Amino acid sequence: MPLGRGFGVLWSANALSNLADGVAFVSMPLLAASMTDDPRLVAGLATLYALVRLLVALPIGVWVDRLDRRTLIVAANLLRGVGLLGLALTIQFGVSSLVVLYAAMAVVGTLESMADSAAVAILPSLVDRERLDSANGRIAAAQLVSDEFAGPPLGGFLFAFAAAVPVFAMGGLWAVAGLVALALPIRRSLRLADDAPAARRSIYAEAREGIAWLARHRVVGSLALIGA
């Protein structure tokens, strides 16, 4: 049963974005291995990615709560696309390095957190409450297939042609995902005057409030702990 045009746009953008994530999962370590024989530097790429995701999770969660989710999805994907296309050009012309690759991975990790969080947060505004289970299931299925099943082998296959090919593919997929997300409906929310002081609180104050809420919520807190 169709879930509406808005959901279709979100699903398409999310599937393209996650396919690029899956390509990066294999191709970025292969790129590192082509630049150095030190296994610690190759493993450090994945370590950097995980640390960046961990460090930016709370502030990005606050930004997703404050800002327009459609804008965040579009910006995160377009910025990743432009950044990776730039990285691909440095590889193509032989001027790339591990420092550039590490910097690109940090940017990708940060913007991936933003895009994924905004996509989850915007879903209830696109689908009726009684159909959220179906919508979430389809989003999760697309993510699983694109990110973990199709993306990694595609990344390895493209890398066999040339080191820059999967990077061009990632940049193109993220850029297209950002352009597709432009078709998401624009929803303007007006803040009440009483809410204005809360908007001026620091990011970390709101993050602490969120952590406290999570700790008190038995179901969501337990799920977060299990996922972590």
Give the pLDDT confidence score for residue 74 in this predicted structure: 96
Give the pLDDT confidence score for residue 1 in this predicted structure: 52
Mean pLDDT of successive 10-residue stretches along the chain, which has 228 residues: 83 95 93 94 93 91 91 96 95 92 94 92 89 90 92 95 95 96 77 48 84 89 86
Q: What is the DSSP letter of 126?
A: T
Query: 99, 48 in Cβ contact below 8 A?
Result: no
Give the pLDDT confidence score for residue 128 in this predicted structure: 87
Give the pLDDT confidence score for residue 209 in this predicted structure: 87
Give the pLDDT confidence score for residue 227 in this predicted structure: 82
Euclidean distance between CA atoms 14 and 144, whole angstroms:
11
Give the pLDDT confidence score for residue 2 in this predicted structure: 67
Chain-centre distance for alpha carbon 98: 22
Q: Which long-range contacts (CB under 8 A, 24 or more apart) does 2-5 make?
A: 3/126, 3/127, 3/131, 3/134, 3/135, 3/138, 4/126, 4/127
Domain ranges of the chain: 5-185, 196-228
Secondary-structure class of domain 5-185 per CATH: mainly alpha
Give the pLDDT confidence score for residue 160 in this predicted structure: 94
Give the pLDDT confidence score for residue 188 in this predicted structure: 59
Q: What is the pTM of this model?
A: 0.87
